[in-house]
Amino acid sequence: MLRKGITESFGAAIHAFNSAQLTDGVISRSKRMMLDSLGVGLLGTRTDVFNKALTYSQLFTSVERSSVWGKSRITLPPHYAAFVNGIAVHSMDFDDTWHPATHPSGAVLPALLALAETLPRQPSGLDLLLAFNVGIEVQGRLLRFSREAYNIPERFHPPSVVGVMGSAAASAKLLGLSPAQCSHALAIAASSAGAPLANAATQTKPLHIGNAARRGLEAAQLAQMGLTGNPSILDLNRGFGVYYKDYSPSAMAVSASRHFKWILEEQDVAFKRIPAHLGMHWAVDAALAARAKLESTVRHFDVSQIRQVTLRVPPSKYVDCPLPATEHQARHSFQFNACSALLDNKVTVSSFSEAQINRPALKELLSNVKVETPNDNQPNFDKMYCEVEIETHQGQSVAARCDTFYGHWRKPLSQEDLVEKFSVNASSVLCTEGVEGVIDVIGNIEEVRECSVLGSYLSMTSSQHQQLYSTGTV
């Protein structure tokens, strides 16, 4: 019997996965990922970058139409619905983060929900859950083909590379493609992969997730139509290996049996409490702890008493932004997040508004920040730490260190806090019935007969609900 090539093994695995292989642990974790992604996506529909992308996407028409989350009267061609919903998920850098580093959910869920609306037979919730996990699993496998991928990225944004492959795999699964078509979907998607890290901290970064969702969906549909790519795309250094200097791929083996070891079972994701780059969570927690120490020793603490703030963080140029001028730069600035925490004793969604960024007191504090990168502080989300030291004009000095923030996979958010995060985010757009409906559907997704019911709740905006009541429709 001939041994399968790596790409061929992935195609066969994507085709072979079945819902009986979904374990309780994987189901639980992936439902949390779905709920969180929908929440940050709904909140993201209020951002400038989302609305620019939506205006652009409305230039296009097609026979098939899919919903835009939180927009009861707007539909788009499926690829553009996946595009704008993916942008919404990452528009505030509020979405989940995995290890090795990527944002796994935002590239997959928008593509699946857009695709599901166009299918002649509505997929069940279990179909959606399986396809979602296939997309997550493929990303996890690809990331483990390189040791370089375990570190905070330096050259490209990982979701733009593995995310488009995950979207293609998930879409191929939902479409029921053959093993060969699944392989070709990956090959086609690989030619839409990649985005330079230089566009981090700009309005273009959220497009990386939107493009991954859109292009992966397109790749699967093109493969379904018979378009082919290199059947060894994952085997070759000149194929998917172009993205990693130490590329070392291996086959994926999936049998029809119930037993399968999912990466998500071994490696949980991180859920963010603030809308910023993951590294900022260490800085915020350390700054809050340092402030608390100083307040306990100074009777009348005032931030003007601070002479210098020293941050000890891992080396990573794209999150070293001393004086951010925009919300996107602020979301990628150790200095801004630490100083916001010191000044306000909290960091929230509103911390990244233009008014908050331009406060004289904040700018004054930022001018007194020094950044150090100790040799033992590795640029790796599983190993890094952040230490904040505060020195006052009166000669006092306090320091605090964060090794694991609340929300990290080693210290996961409780289900209560995760649902609370979703509710706060979603209620900025949806009415109470919509918020509660999404929570209920995702909580029981494996029992839902048609996943279209989720879309109905995602369109229950506050304004729409009020209008229905005023006309006596409900």
Residue 59: per-residue pLDDT:
97
pLDDT tens track of the chain, all 474 residues?
346 799 999 999 999 999 999 999 999 999 999 999 999 999 999 999 999 999 999 999 999 999 999 999 999 999 999 999 999 999 999 999 999 999 999 999 999 999 999 999 999 999 999 999 999 999 999 999 999 999 999 899 999 999 999 999 999 999 999 999 999 999 999 999 999 999 999 999 999 999 999 999 999 999 999 999 999 999 999 999 999 999 999 999 876 666 789 999 999 999 999 999 999 999 999 999 999 999 998 877 788 899 999 999 999 888 889 999 999 999 999 999 999 999 999 999 999 999 999 999 999 999 999 999 999 999 999 999 999 999 999 899 999 999 999 999 999 999 999 999 999 999 999 999 999 999 999 999 999 999 999 999 999 998 654 443 333 333
Between the alpha carbon of residue 349 and those of residues 275, 287, 402, 433, the distances in Å are: 6, 17, 21, 24
> Using an 8 Å Cβ cutoff, are 330 and 336 in contact?
yes
Nearest to 196 by CA among 141, 158, 151: 158
Q: What is d(CA 408, CA 312) in angstroms, rounded to the nearest whole number?
A: 19
CB of 148 closer than 8 Å to CB of 158: no
Given the structure tokens 């939506």, which residue do they identify?
Answer: 54
Q: CA-based angle 159:165:171, to the nearest 5?
A: 115
Cβ-Cβ contacts under 8 Å for 172 (sequence gap 6 or more): 14, 181, 182, 185, 220, 223, 224
Which pair of structure tokens corresponds to residue 1?
């019997």
Q: How far apart are CA 158 and CA 429, in angstroms?
A: 29
Q: Tell me, what's the pLDDT at 284?
A: 98
* pLDDT, position 319: 83
- C-alpha to C-alpha distance for 236 and 241, rounded to whole angstroms: 6
% helix, strand, coil for the chain, step of 5:
50, 10, 40
Which residues touch 345 (CB under 8 Å, ≥6 apart)? 288, 291
Nearest to 168 by CA among 149, 183, 156: 183
